[in-house]
Every structure is written in C-alpha cells, then in structure tokens.
Amino acid sequence: TDEAFRAPVADLLDPENRRTVRGPGWATPAFVVAGHVVWGFTALVLDRLFDELGWTEPWDRSREIPRP
C-alpha cells in the first residue's frame, strides 16, 4: 500500500537496508526501513541523490526482494 512515513537518513544509507527489485528488463534500488519498502522512482531518486552527495556506502546489489 502507498503511505507516507519518515525515515532517518542514516537508516536509508545503511547498507543492511539496501536491496534491489527486479522486473522483466529492469531493476531499481530499494530501501527496507522500519517494515516499509521504498522502491521504484522514489528509491531511484534517493539512490542518485546519495551518490551525488558522496554519501553512498558500498552495498550488495545482488540482495533482491520481490516487487512490492
């Protein structure tokens, strides 16, 4: 379900909370925080923002979760 929630930036940056969601011909980063899954466009924007700011920690992109 769609809902708004707050998450500390530190939780979003934590490599343990990073995942990948795959579909036919595409993949997107995802964040699993406090029982919520952030994926798709929102996760892509956060991923790129953190990269541009130099905040991204190395994370295991092979850790996949099913599409929510």
**Span 1-34, pLDDT tens digits:** 678 999 999 999 999 999 999 999 999 999 999 9
**Span 35-66, pLDDT tens digits:** 999 999 999 999 999 999 999 999 999 999 99
Residue 39 lies in a domain: yes
The pLDDT assigned to 2 comes to 78
The pLDDT assigned to 68 comes to 86
The pLDDT assigned to 1 comes to 60
Query: What range defines the domain where residue 52 resides?
Result: 9-60
The pLDDT assigned to 3 comes to 85
Sign of the dihedral through C-alpha 34, 38, 42, 45: positive
Neighbours of 33 (CB within 10 A): 16
Residue 4 lies in a domain: no
How many domains are contained in the chain? Answer: 1
Give 3's Cβ-side CA count (13 Å radius): 8
Residue 1 lies in a domain: no
